[in-house]
Structure 1
């Protein structure tokens, strides 16, 4: 009966559990950080709200992709082209700008309706 320990077998097993648990928790946090950085683009269609974004973002303007803004808003070209189709346009040649509004919705503005582009560039003319 002296060979069997029923409750407390020493500090080594307890310390081993604490160390392994801490390492496992750290590994899970590191993996979560890695996988979230590998998935920079949204998967929820054309409505991809940017967390904490309080102002509209210009994502496409006069035939040019605004790559820095697209990366910051985590949106792909495919999602922008989908927004063009949803807004009733057939070609990017008809588009002056694509804007992600503060509420996360994508707006495609045609060249015929762009005017002087003051509202597109947040320039209150």
Structure 2
């Protein structure tokens, strides 16, 4: 149907404007970490916020107060999860993935590529995007916790850039794929 009533249109305008304004206020109060590009968990929260806002605006059976409470609940839960993640390593390990080493000292790590479902072509695309022509010029290529691929050029030893990324263990080569899973 193309048109139900003027009151339906007015409800969408009023509820949409108020819900949007409230969401902006909630997000500002909760801080920058509420909507970050970190991992799948954060993506789920972002999608849930969008779905809730959409339901609030378009579904007549959802009262504005209920929708605002749902938005506030999602944001509060996200805030709580990030708060706990910063303070507890075991909790952080439960909800967040780790970066994964895809190239180590110029060598592909096939096991990590398979586990993370990343193709060699995707690695090469990231390497080319950084203007690098040869893997031997790289210290590492890392699949980050947000799904992006970082390229780390050879640098001075001990620069700390790869401190949180697992390396192949002793007696194993990079081709053994001995990096931690995300």
TM-score (norm. length: structure 1): 0.50
Matches of 2:150 and 2:141 in 1, distance apart?
A: 6
Is residue 2:154 matched to residue 1:77? no
Q: CA deviation at 1:121?
A: 4.6
Match of 2:98 in 1: 55
Whether the 8 Å contact between 1:87 and 1:107 is mirrored in structure 2 is no
* CA offsets 1:14-47 (integer angstroms, 9 cap, x no match): xxxxxxxxxxxxxxxxxxxxxxxxxxxxxxxxxx
Pick the aligned partner of 1:92 from 124, 128, 135.
135
Matches of 1:121 and 1:99 in 2, distance apart?
A: 12
Match of 2:164 in 1: 122
Query: Which structure shows the bigger proportion of residues in helix conformation?
Result: 2
Indicate the RMSD between aligned Cα atoms, in angstroms. 2.5
The DSSP-based 3-state class of the residue aligned with 1:120 is coil
Please list, as runs of the form range in 1=range in 2, the aligned pairs for 1:15-34 lying within 5 A after superposition. none
Give ranges in structure 2 of 5+ residues lacking alignment.
1-38, 42-95, 166-182
Matches of 1:51 and 1:67 in 2, distance apart?
A: 23
Q: 1:117 to 1:81 in 2, by over 3 A?
A: farther
Runs of at least 4 residues off by over 2 Å: 50-53
Q: CA deviation at 1:102?
A: 0.4
Q: CA deviation at 1:78?
A: 1.2
TM-score (norm. length: structure 2): 0.36
Between structure 1 and structure 2, the one with the greater Rg is 1
Query: Which structure shows the bigger proportion of residues in strand conformation?
Result: 1
